[in-house]
Amino acid sequence: MPDIRRLVIEAGAVRAGVVTLGPVDSYAEELYRNWLAEGRHGEMGYLEKYAEVRHDPRLLLEGARSMIVAAFNYYGGEPEVSQPLKWARYAVGRDYHEEVRERLGRVAEAITAATGAQCRVTVDTAPLRERYWAVKAGVGFLGINNQLIVPEAGSWCVLGEIITTLELEADEPDTRNCLGCMRCVKACPGHALDGHGGMDARRCMSYLSIEKKYHEDDEALMPRLGDRIYGCDICQEVCPHNSCARATEIDNFRPRPSVIGLTREDILGMEQSEFSRIFTHSAIKRAKLAGLQRNARAAGEGEAATRPE
Ligand code: SF4
Ligand code: SF4
């Protein structure tokens, strides 16, 4: 049996843990269902789908017994070129779905070669309560900012998982709480955080600038985004748990000058072919050109302000 945690760390993760699979506990399931029932997921209708799988990840792979959860640091440090607009830090390097999938895919192949076990890699690509399982696997704990905080790395991490038919020894869950300073709650421009770990996506700049689909009719309702063009990192930037953040050792996650050098005018004048060329291997393609240009228009209309009540 290979040392799987070591393989995952060698693949570039800053932390890895193992959890024995079973259903999500009833309290967490109820919280999630209530969040949906209150409509706080906005237009993210995909979060309503596959409820059965989402609450029992054993359904993702026949015979699944364990899950390895891995956190990868994407913190790129301070940009080395002029950056006219603010982009979510996770998005300015290579698309983390591709990068993490490749890295965990190699580990999964090694596991299968050594043991014959079946594996399935997921990177935000399956109906899975990623942060819930990361806590169970001891990878980190949840902050009031609704982020997973990884000890000695902070919250600038993306998660990936290997679901496997192997029976592995589980880690202890990380049941700590964050410092509770409420800086994230006070700093959130959309008042999206409820101070108890809950979040209303409809008030979150990240949701509004990435997930919310482009509708010409509701452009007037877009909040003023200031110089934020894609996503929002404010509730992570103010969090004291991130004072330990160090620049990632994954070169592909470092900020790309072709992205962070863009101006509002560059985006407003962009053709589809140029958008495709710049963002092919970038998570930013999710917003599509129309969405990015909508954000560019909102970004040009003054300082960031709260969303209209
Ligand atoms: S990402 Fe920005 S808008 Fe969303 S909860 Fe955090 S601070 Fe608030
Ligand atoms: S800013 Fe303070 S309250 Fe918010 S997640 Fe960080 S430690 Fe917790």
Q: Assess whether 130 and 203 both reside in one domain.
A: no
307 part of a folded domain: no
Closest CA to 222 of 235, 232, 207: 207
Note the pLDDT tens digit of each residue in 57-71: 999 999 999 999 999
Q: Is 200 a catalytic residue?
A: no
CA nearest ligand 2 atom 4, residue: 184
Which of 56, 124, 227, 266 is catalytic? The answer is 124
Q: Assess whether 294 and 223 both reside in one domain.
A: yes
Q: What is the Å distance from ligand 1's center to 228 Cα?
A: 12
C-alpha 309/C-alpha 306 separation (Å) is 8
174 part of a folded domain: no
Least confident of 129-138, 157-166, 225-234: 225-234
Among 155, 186, 188, 238, say which to mutate for ligand 1: greatest number of ligand atoms within 8 Å of CB.
Answer: 188
Of 107, 132, 164, the one marking the end of a domain is 164
CA nearest ligand 1 atom 3, residue: 204
Q: What is the Å distance from ligand 2's center to 182 Cα?
A: 5
Whether the per-residue pLDDT at 307 is higher than 90: the answer is no
Instruction: Give the pLDDT band (50/70/90) at residue 97.
Output: very high
Two structure tokens written together for 17? 């843990």
Q: What is the Å distance from ligand 2's center to 238 Cα?
A: 8
- Number of domains comprising the chain: 2
The residues near 301 (Cβ < 8 Å, ≥ 6 apart) are: 224
Instruction: Give the pLDDT band (50/70/90) at residue 155.
Output: very high
Percent of the chain having pLDDT more than 70? Answer: 93
Q: Assess whether 119 and 71 both reside in one domain.
A: yes
175 part of a folded domain: no
38 part of a folded domain: yes
Q: Cβ–Cβ contacts within 10 Å for residue 287, how many?
A: 24
206 part of a folded domain: yes
Indicate whether residue 188 lines ligand 2 (CB < 6 A).
no
145 part of a folded domain: yes
Q: Assess whether 250 and 215 both reside in one domain.
A: yes
Structural domain harbouring 241: 183-299
CA nearest ligand 1 atom 6, residue: 235
Q: Which residues pair with 87 in a beta bridge?
A: 230
